[in-house]
Amino acid sequence: MKYTKPYQPPTVTVDAVVFQLSDSGLEVLLTKRSEEPFKDSWALPGGYSAQGETTLEALAIKVKSKAGVNIHEDLKYIEQLYTFDSVARDPRGHAVSVTYMGCGLNITPVDSSEEAAFFSVDNLPSLAYDHANIISYAHQRLSAKLTYTNAVYGLLPKRFTLTQLQTAYEAVFGRDLDKRNFRKKFLSLELIHETSEMFREGAHRPARLYEFNKQKLESLTRSFD
């Protein structure tokens, strides 16, 4: 291919939407920007992606250095989300952002170059760039994934109670589910099996602990909810 002017690619960036559950519901990882543009605003962790590295490789490096999170060890699941490319999204110039979405559990940012913290998706601070849109899109995608795959495993510990499982669905869907119907249906999907262990906590009956059969993404034939 021939060009009369030298070819100038857009800048390529990567951004991660990292979800986890806490007592307050679904949370997303943000970092506080230390430089312009959007200095002191919160933003998704990410950065430039250079020639010779895949966008996922670049993401691992950026999220580790800026937010202190190792996407391969701390996340149980990650997938590409969408590529945002409007010319105006970065005031410095045209930057195309390849975004990813992932899920983890009890993640604690360590040794990050920027301030990093999790925020409830229902109570986000004002965000840099188009990152509010990206998070909203990721949340929709996660919600869809829970309905037709076993992706919840990414939000739960290895062993979990059925109440924890249901709470995870409710946090992502943003609505309550019927306990009896939830259990009946989820157990019929044969994605999990019970263990011999019980979870004891507080002044009430202990709960049985379950495990996923596979800690790997798979699609369901019957969709869930």
| Residues identified as active-site | 115
Q: How far is the CB of 123 from DNA (least distance, A)?
A: 23
Residues 193-212 that bind DNA (CB under 7 A): 198, 200, 202-208
47 binds a copy of itself (CB under 8 A): yes
Of 68, 95, 93, nearest to 83 (Cα)?
A: 95
Question: Total residues at the site for DNA (CB under 7 A)?
Answer: 22
98 binds a copy of itself (CB under 8 A): yes
185 binds, among DNA, a copy of itself, none (CB under 5 to 8 A by kind): DNA
Beta-strand pair 95-104/11-22: parallel
Closer of 4 and 221 to DNA (Cβ): 221
133 binds, among a copy of itself, DNA, none (CB under 5 to 8 A by kind): none
Q: Quick one: three-class SS letters along 160-193?
A: EEHHHHHHHHHHHHCCCCCHHHHHHHHHHCCCEE
32, 73, 75, 83: which one contacts a copy of itself (CB under 8 A)? 83
Residues 113-152 that bind a copy of itself (CB under 8 A): none
8, 106, 196, 221: which one contacts a copy of itself (CB under 8 A)? 8
Strand ranges (E), the chain: 11-22, 25-32, 42-43, 46-48, 75-84, 95-104, 116-120, 159-161, 192-199, 207-212
Question: Total residues at the site for a copy of itself (CB under 8 A)?
Answer: 30
179 binds DNA (CB under 7 A): yes
Q: Write the CB contacts of 4 (distance below 8 Å, at least 6 apart in sequence).
A: none
Residue 89 to residues 67, 86, 93, 128, 132: CA-CA distances in angstroms? 22, 6, 8, 10, 12
The single residue listed with the structure tokens 């019957």 is: 222
Residue ranges that bind DNA, judged by CB under 7 A: 161-163, 178-181, 183-185, 188, 198, 200, 202-208, 222, 225
